[in-house]
Amino acid sequence: MSWMVLVMSGVLEAVWATALGKSEGFSKLSPSAVFVVALVASMAGLAYAMRDLPVGTAYAVWVGIGAVLTVVYAMATGEESASLLKAAFLVMIIGGVVGLKLAH
């Protein structure tokens, strides 16, 4: 259960990071509200997962999922350029996240 909550919290990290960028310094209400809700839910899920998982592992997985999804979303929407080199590094991050799960 903790792993599932951690993965969902990582997804929410990507949501709040993207919303933060779209809020334009908290000057836009909707993205700002999405940011606050996703941030609170993401942190709550991370805290829940850390009750059963080591802090370092949980944090690294949470950040890895959030980082990969944030970059993939930005590339998919054209906000960031895509390249094979970027894709290779994203695959390495995913490999690290999977490795941490397997090593647990």
CA distances for 25 relative to 38, 66, 77, angstroms: 16, 20, 20
DSSP one-letter code for 75: H
Domain that holds residue 89: 2-103
Q: What is the pTM of this model?
A: 0.92
Are 39 and 16 in contact by the 8 Å Cβ rule? The answer is yes
Report the number of distinct structural domains present in the chain.
1
Asked if pLDDT for residue 104 goes beyond 90, the answer is no
What are the tens digits of pLDDT across the range 66-83? 999 999 999 999 999 999
What are the tens digits of pLDDT across the range 27-68? 999 999 999 999 999 999 999 999 999 999 999 999 999 999
Asked if pLDDT for residue 97 goes beyond 90, the answer is yes
What CA–CA distance (Å, rounded) separates 56 from 104?
A: 11
Report which secondary-structure segment, H or E, holds 84.
helix 84-103
42: tokens are 């993401």
96: tokens are 């690290």
The confidence band for 96, taking pLDDT boundaries of 50, 70 and 90, is very high
